[in-house]
Structures are given as structure tokens and as C-alpha cells.
Amino acid sequence: MNFNGKTVIVTGGSRGIGRAIALDFAKAGANVVVNYNRSADKAEEVVKEVEALGTKGLAVQCDVSKQDDVDKLLKEAVDTFGTVDFLINNAGVTKDTLILRMKEDDWDRVLDTNLKGTFMTTKVIGKYMLKKRQGRIVNITSVVGIMGNAGQSNYAASKAGVIGFTKSVAKEFASRGITVNAVAPGFIASDMTDVLSDEVKEAYAKAIPLGKMGEPEDVANAVKFLCSDMSKYITGQVVQVDGGMLM
Amino acid sequence: MFDKVVEIVRDQLGVDADVVITKETSLMKDLEADSLDAVEIIMAFEDEFDVEIPDEDAENFNNIGDIVAYMESKK
């Protein structure tokens, strides 16, 4: 795949799956805007890695749930690279606990970043893409948004919300040639899953037909496909990257 | 005001200069704007004239004349 001269914005691009997406797009020749909220050092590291691959990178601090921040993100991206072709809504947080123990703040913070953040960036950057009559949006959701998970009612609700949002916006933007799809990772080795015990990880792996956890690159490959010309007739879909965990 | 409104509509919809636009011209029926075009035009008016146009008001815009009258009332 060749993304020479294209620009991608990856929200939450400093770590885990977001970092893998940022680097994979850089390998394909794209300039990469690495959005982060608090991990400034890690975002700058990713920018350095991007530039070592021969393209340009830019780290931009922004809380995706705040419109003013997102306006700034788009402006910095366009001022620096002259265009935005792909938006990858990857920024996500977890605050896991059983619902009886879940505080209102645990709910709000997860919904704000994961769902409201996706709304905000899609509204602001989608408007820019509509004017250009060109663009691809890929939202990172989760199989948990489809199957549920004890201890993650806030996270699962946010990810299910992202799926409904993806399909609705796909319908709204289709007439302008802008595709909107979602990628639903299953059990992927990342910061988010590193906190789990080995026992839990093994139990999960047993439930996966392909027999192991996925890598962030597996998710990045699906995202790249959904931004390429190979997927120009695909919109409003949820692609599961889960080793067959949920069928 | 009429000229400015027409300029924005032409720009947003990419209407050729040889297509005549009058106060009676309908965005949807005559210029074949769809709902997304209509939203983009309303947002362009909001930016240009620094006003907020609620959806309830925008629903009453049947033709260019309605829009011009509305914008003049907001001055």
C-alpha cells in the first residue's frame, strides 16, 4: 500500500495500538499526526520513529472530547501537512470495575474519551473531509462492544456506541465518497492488556480459535486496508480482528 | 444581502455562473441540493454572517428569498 503524500491523524497515537497504526502508516509513506492527551514524551518518541521511517510526524496535544482542542488538532495538521486524508479514532481509556462499584466519574471519563471523543473528531475533521469530497474514517471499537464483558460495562457501552455511530455517519457521508468503518480488536497485546495477570491471559487465549493473543500490527493492517483504495466499496462495517474469538 | 447569499450558495453547491438564481430559486428543487448540502450552506451562512441559525428556522427556508429575508432580519 502506498500512502505517499497522504496525511493521517491517529488519536491516542502515542501508545499501544495507536502507536502501531502510526508506524504502519509511516511505513506506507504517510505523514502522521500523533495526537496524545498526557503522554507527551511517548508521542514525541513515536514522531521520532515515524521520521526514522522517512516521512514526517507531528505530535499534537488535545483532549478529543473538547471541541476547541479538536479544532486546534485539525488546524495544526492542515497548517503543517496541507491536508488530512485519514482519521483514525483510536483514543480510548478503561476504568474497569463491576457496575455496583462503578463511580459516576468512571462512567463519564470512559464515555467522554471513547464515544464523545469519536463524535467530536468526526464532526470537526469530517466537515473538513466533506468539503474536500475525500477522506477515510476508521473508528477503533472492541469485540467487547459486541459481546459485553463483566467489569467493563462503561467501556463496552462506549464501544457499542462507537459501532452505532460508525454506521450512522457512514450513511450520512456516503454521498460524498467518504467511507466510515470500525475495527474491533479482540484480545491484543498492549498497555491495556499488560495489566492482566498471566492466568487471565492464558484463559483468554484458550477461548481464541487461532490460539493466541493478537499483535497491535494485526489491528493496524486492517486499519490500513480500510484507508486504501482496495476498500473503496466498503463502508459502515465492523471488521473484527480477534483470531476468531467472537463469531 | 441577496448577492452575498447567492455567492455563498454558488460556492457551496458549485453552481455555474450561467445558471440564473433568483429569489424564487429553491435550493432543493432547482439546484438539487441534498440534506447534507443544505446543512453545509447553513453553516457557511453562520460563519459569514456570524449568526446562529437554529434548525427550526432553517426548516422554513423554501427558497433564496426566504434566506435573504431571514438574514436581513438578523442584522
Determine which of B36, B42, B46 to mutate to test the interface with A (most A C-beta atoms within 10 Å).
B36
Domain covering A7-241: architecture: 3-Layer(aba) Sandwich (3.40)
pTM of this structure = 0.93
- The bridge status of strand A238-241 relative to strand A7-10 is unpaired
State how far the Cα of B43 lies from the Cα of B39, in Å rounded to an integer. 6
- Total tally of structural domains belonging to chain B: 1
* ipTM confidence score: 0.80
Contact of A115 with A91, CB cutoff 8 Å: no
- Give contacts of A175 with chain B, Cβ < 8 Å: 34, 36
**B37 at A interface, C-beta within 8 A:** no
- Choosing from B34, B47, B50, B66, the catalytic residue is B34
Asked whether residue A102 carries a pLDDT value surpassing 90, the answer given is yes
Determine the distance in angstroms separating the CA of A130 from the nearest CA of chain B, rounded to an integer. 9
Contact B34 A175 (CB under 8 A): yes
Determine the distance in angstroms separating the CA of B8 from the nearest CA of chain A, rounded to an integer. 14
Q: Describe the crossing of helices A216-227 and A16-27 by its angle, rounded to 10 degrees.
A: 50
Confidence class of residue A193 from pLDDT cuts 50, 70 and 90?
confident
> Which CATH number belongs to the domain containing residue B11 in this structure?
1.10.1200.10
Q: Is residue A204 annotated as part of the catalytic site, yes or no? A: no
Q: Is A75 left (phi over 0), alpha (psi -120 to 50) or beta?
A: alpha
Mean pLDDT of A159-176: 97
Contact of A194 with A17, CB cutoff 8 Å: no
Phi and psi, residue A34, nearest 5°: -95, 105
Question: Would you write out chain B's pLDDT as a tens digit for each of its 75 residues?
Answer: 899 999 999 999 989 888 999 999 999 999 999 989 999 999 999 999 999 999 899 888 889 999 999 999 987
- Give contacts of B36 with chain A, Cβ < 8 Å: 130, 172, 175-176
pLDDT single digits (tens) A6-30: 999 999 999 999 999 999 999 999 9
As beta bridge partners, residue A182 has A139, A238
In chain B, alpha helices (H): 2-13, 35-49, 55-58, 64-73
Q: Where are the domains of chain A?
A: 7-241
Contact A130 B34 (CB under 8 A): no
**Domain extent at residue B46:** 2-73
Percent of chain A with pLDDT over 70: 100
